[in-house]
Amino acid sequence: MLHKLALIHSIPGRTRFNLGLKYGKGAEIEAIFRSIPFVYSASYTGETGSILIYHDTRVTWKDLYRTLSNSKKETQEKARFPIAEVLVCLSAFVFELTRVSPILTQGTTNLLRPSSLAVLYSSQKIIKNGIVAVMTKGKPNADTLTSAALLASILKGSPKSALIIYLMSTISEWLTEFTAYKTRNYVRDMLSVKVDSVWRVDETGKEERVPVEQVKVGDQVVVFQGEKVVVDGKIVAGVATIDESSITGEFIPKELTTGNNVFAGSVVVEGSVRILVEKAGDDTAISRMIHLIEEAQTKQAPIQSIANRLSDKLVPISFILAGLIYVVTKDWNKVLNMLVIDYVCGIKLSTATAISSSIGLAAKNGILLKGGQTIEKLAQIDTVILDKTGTVTEGRPVVTKVIPFSDWTEDNVLAISASAEEHSSHPIAEAICNEANERNLPIPEHKEIEMIVGRGIKAIINDKLVLVGSKLFLTDWDITLDPLNKLNSEINQDENMVFVSYDTQLIGIIVLEDKVREGMKKTINQLRRHGVDEVIMLTGDRFHPAKKIADKLGMDAFIAEALPEDKANFVMKYKSKTDHLMMVGDGVNDAPALAYANVGITLGTKRTDIAVETADVIVTADDPLALAEVIKMSQKTMKLIYQNLIVTVLVNSGAILMGTLGYITPVIGAAIHNAATIAVVLNSGKIILLGGRGSGNKVSNRSQYYW
């Protein structure tokens, strides 16, 4: 339909196309056009084969055409089921079953029988691949074995065997392709922006509709309510509620305004914003995520390589055994059983399907795995090293205690401090101001403010000198610290403290600490349940704060005051004790350590680009429980693979034994072999094919893993 789409006429808000299709299915055609976001209505006229579309006045007919063309391309990516070939074979199979007097001849004359021709026509690709493998690589593959079984069945005068071999092997191959397609499109549908045009602001401030491809870094674009963001950038005007669930995994929309960052793939739920473009096209975070997942599916796990090598070795063995059986027994039925029953399909297809499905399911839950080898490594993890700031903790300080002196109260100390700090962007200033706001404190006005880098802030409040900063900062101004002598039992000198003075007098101390991520304690407990023996924390922070957090979370050990190179060296040396080490971090200083670990994971929305590039696993949400879940998922996947290998070997070995002894015919042998292959492929494919139906553990109100 779409390749014949031609414009009849177009005015703003109203366009008519000729589809070149008279008396088509009007309801389906109209539904296709109405599914476009900026189309209000679509009316198809069967007599003329045209469709009248009412749409947003800002959208041109070219925008409509481009959107429909992209939809066509997407549909072509579907896993193709060979309907014509299968129908031909099914017809031939029915013919063979209903024939009253079968011809029991053997030889090349059987190649001309209708059922034989049907098999040869349907399986031409398989036969071609099998022959090419022998001619080019000098060794047979799975298609060579299948081709031999098909031809042998035909020459023996048993086309039913050939038909069953083709039909069932086709179904198992298609199931594998369909699972890979589902995985690929699960991720693309979830993450893809799928917007062809955007409102760009020109030099005069006027908004114009342009194709997404024309947007470049430095442009400004406007995104209205209900529209998707197509670029990464910073908001320069406007306020909007934005759903970032496809990027961060957080299901609650955020209210963002000037200065906040936004990412392609997020949706403006309410309001509108103008965005300064910082990244566009394939450079956006969401495009990189899609690329990482697609690349991951091409990276084989060691067990996949083993399965492939084992399969390649089993093919010539099957030929040798078939030859030996013919020499010993001269029984073509027993020879055919050796050819129609093999381990190759079940081993290769089920393993590839399980790995592909797991990568897709993880992506659906906001976890990007860089290849099948990562799944196998994760399943064996016994030691986890966690960076503290931004991983174990939220990476932002909070006020835990306020200690006032003299006649001052906690609220008064906080109010004075917040007044001095309210224009500072330092995390400590933000923590003090947040605490004051939570207590609904009236903030006094300040006059002049001076920030002394690395020391603190000097302000004039109520015509009095106010100092907020380190102990050294106050002593530089000759502020007496005598009140501290009475508090030695209440405070630990290693804690993070801010000192506050008013009119040359020390009036209080504010104690801060980096807040532990919600769910971190539960995460560590779950890691231990999934086979992790040691949990260690690495941090550049001081000893006391690090010890406090390690004790609180029940960690086995911690390393404090570690520089980036210290972290990397520690991980490298610790690998001599175990080959199953996982490192979790999020910053530039964690990148070397992530690279040295057997599995590196970056966690959360504050992760840096270099950490993402270095890590093997990217958790897109601020949810530490995903660490335990990804290990659990990997262990389940590997268990499923081994389960499939055992089933494949047992079932096919039993069928080969019964065929060799003459208890089953080649038709039954082919049915048993292919049924086992379909069963193990379905067993692997259920990971993604079920699409989240079953029972399992929730991950932070996002999607669930089901097994």
User: Which of 552, 554, 603, 565 shows the shortest CA–CA distance to 391?
Assistant: 603
Number of domains, the chain? 5
Asked whether residue 94 carries a pLDDT value surpassing 60, the answer given is yes
β-strand pairing of 496-502 with 505-516:
antiparallel
- Claim to verify: residue 566 and residue 499 sit in the same structural domain: no
Task: Select, from the ranges 458-462, 513-517, 618-622, the one with the highest average predicted confidence (pLDDT).
Answer: 458-462
pLDDT for 702 equals 40
pLDDT for 660 equals 79
Cα–Cα distance, 478 to 101 (Å, whole number): 114
Let me know if residue 325 belongs to a domain: yes
pLDDT for 529 equals 93
Let me know if residue 706 belongs to a domain: no
Let me know if residue 558 belongs to a domain: yes
Average pLDDT score over residue span 617-629: 85
pLDDT for 522 equals 93
Cβ pair 400, 512 in contact under 8 A? yes
Let me know if residue 363 belongs to a domain: no
pLDDT for 127 equals 79
* Domain end residue (candidates: 612, 632, 652): 632
- Claim to verify: residue 471 and residue 403 sit in the same structural domain: yes
- Name, in order, each residue with C-beta under 8 angstroms of 425's C-beta and a sequence gap of 6 or more: none
The per-residue pLDDT for range 378-392, each reduced to its tens digit, is 999 999 999 887 788
Cα–Cα distance, 508 to 469 (Å, whole number): 11
Q: Any idea what the Cα angle at residue 67 is, between residues 64 and 73, rounded to 5°?
A: 140
Q: How large a percentage of the chain has pLDDT more than 70?
A: 73
Average pLDDT score over residue span 227-235: 86
Q: Which residue shows structure tokens 């941090």?
A: 539
Cα–Cα distance, 369 to 600 (Å, whole number): 11
- Name, in order, each residue with C-beta under 8 angstroms of 353's C-beta and a sequence gap of 6 or more: 175, 176, 179, 180, 681, 684, 685
| 3-state SS, residue 32 | helix
| 3-state SS, residue 582 | strand
Q: How large a percentage of the chain has pLDDT more than 90?
A: 14
Average pLDDT score over residue span 176-189: 61
Let me know if residue 293 belongs to a domain: no
User: Which of 539, 563, 561 shows the shortest CA–CA distance to 550?
Assistant: 539
Let me know if residue 288 belongs to a domain: no
List Cα–Cα distances, 439 to 408, 411, 573, in angstroms. Answer: 16, 8, 48
- Claim to verify: residue 552 and residue 605 sit in the same structural domain: yes
Backbone phi, psi, residue 325, to 5°: -65, -40
Which of 196, 219, 232, 387 is an active site residue? Answer: 387
Q: Any idea what the Cα angle at residue 368 is, between residues 630 and 599, rounded to 5°?
A: 60
- Round the average pLDDT of the chain to a whole number and report it: 76
Asked whether residue 249 carries a pLDDT value surpassing 70, the answer given is no
In this structure, of 120-134, 628-642, 678-692, the range with the lowest mean pLDDT score is: 678-692
- Claim to verify: residue 385 and residue 399 sit in the same structural domain: no
The per-residue pLDDT for range 18-33, each reduced to its tens digit, is 876 655 566 667 777 7
- Claim to verify: residue 404 and residue 503 sit in the same structural domain: yes
- Claim to verify: residue 434 and residue 559 sit in the same structural domain: no
pLDDT for 460 equals 92
Give 77's pLDDT tier (boundaries 50, 70, 90). very low
The sheet with strand 383-387 has its strands ordered as 367-369, 617-619, 599-603, 581-585, 383-387, 534-538, 557-559
CB atoms within 10 A of CB 706: 16
The per-residue pLDDT for range 333-342, each reduced to its tens digit, is 677 666 667 6
Cα–Cα distance, 100 to 106 (Å, whole number): 18
Cα–Cα distance, 656 to 676 (Å, whole number): 13
pLDDT for 357 equals 81
Q: Is 283 a catalytic residue?
A: no
Asked whether residue 704 carries a pLDDT value surpassing 50, the answer given is no
The per-residue pLDDT for range 443-496, each reduced to its tens digit, is 998 888 888 766 789 999 988 999 998 888 898 888 888 888 776 666 666 677
Asked whether residue 520 carries a pLDDT value surpassing 70, the answer given is yes
- Name, in order, each residue with C-beta under 8 angstroms of 369's C-beta and a sequence gap of 6 or more: 293, 296, 358, 359, 362, 363, 375, 616, 617, 630
Backbone phi, psi, residue 577, to 5°: -90, -30
CATH of the domain at 443: 3.40.1110.10
Cα–Cα distance, 553 to 530 (Å, whole number): 17
- Helical (H) or strand (E) element with 557: strand 557-559
Residue-range definition of the domain harbouring residue 209? 197-283
Give 172's pLDDT tier (boundaries 50, 70, 90). low
β-strand pairing of 617-619 with 599-603:
parallel
pLDDT for 251 equals 47
Average pLDDT score over residue span 60-78: 59
CB atoms within 10 A of CB 460: 14
Q: Any idea what the Cα angle at residue 85 is, between residues 82 and 89, rounded to 5°?
A: 130
Task: Select, from the ranges 290-299, 485-494, 626-635, 690-699, the one with the highest average predicted confidence (pLDDT).
Answer: 626-635
Write 564-568 long-range contacts (CB < 8 A, 24+): 564/540, 564/588, 564/589, 564/590, 564/592, 564/593, 565/592, 567/387, 567/538, 567/592, 567/593, 568/592, 568/593, 568/595, 568/596
Give 408's pLDDT tier (boundaries 50, 70, 90). very high
CA 475 to chain centre: 53
pLDDT for 707 equals 38
CA 239 to chain centre: 29
- Claim to verify: residue 545 and residue 684 sit in the same structural domain: no
- Claim to verify: residue 422 and residue 495 sit in the same structural domain: yes
pLDDT for 312 equals 63
pLDDT for 270 equals 79
pLDDT for 682 equals 83
Let me know if residue 702 belongs to a domain: no
| 3-state SS, residue 679 | helix
pLDDT for 400 equals 87
CATH of the domain at 603: 3.40.50.1000
CA 565 to chain centre: 30
pLDDT for 373 equals 80
22 burial (CB, 10 Å; 0-12 / 13-18 / 19+) is: exposed
User: Which of 486, 509, 329, 494 shows the shortest CA–CA distance to 410?
Assistant: 509
Average pLDDT score over residue span 638-666: 84
The per-residue pLDDT for range 134-147, each reduced to its tens digit, is 787 777 776 777 77
pLDDT for 432 equals 92
- Claim to verify: residue 535 and residue 614 sit in the same structural domain: yes
Asked whether residue 705 carries a pLDDT value surpassing 60, the answer given is no
Q: Token pair of 444, please?
A: 């006094």
- Name, in order, each residue with C-beta under 8 angstroms of 223's C-beta and a sequence gap of 6 or more: 198, 199, 229, 240, 268, 272, 273, 275
- Claim to verify: residue 537 and residue 674 sit in the same structural domain: no
Asked whether residue 696 carries a pLDDT value surpassing 50, the answer given is no
Q: Spell out the alpha helix ranges (H) of 123-158.
A: 124-137, 142-156
| 3-state SS, residue 56 | coil
CATH of the domain at 70: 3.30.1360.10
| 3-state SS, residue 570 | helix
Task: Select, from the ranges 50-59, 87-96, 460-469, 597-606, the one with the highest average predicted confidence (pLDDT).
Answer: 460-469
- Claim to verify: residue 319 and residue 176 sit in the same structural domain: yes
Asked whether residue 511 carries a pLDDT value surpassing 80, the answer given is yes
* Domain end residue (candidates: 54, 75, 96): 75
Task: Select, from the ranges 87-91, 101-105, 248-252, the one with the highest average predicted confidence (pLDDT).
Answer: 87-91
Asked whether residue 72 carries a pLDDT value surpassing 70, the answer given is no
- Claim to verify: residue 168 and residue 305 sit in the same structural domain: yes
Using CA atoms of 302, 304, 309, 311 in order, give the dihedral in degrees to the nearest 10: 160
* Domain end residue (candidates: 632, 656, 677): 632
Let me know if residue 555 belongs to a domain: yes
- Helical (H) or strand (E) element with 171: helix 159-191
pLDDT for 185 equals 60
DSSP result, 379-396: TT--EEEEEIIIIIEEEE
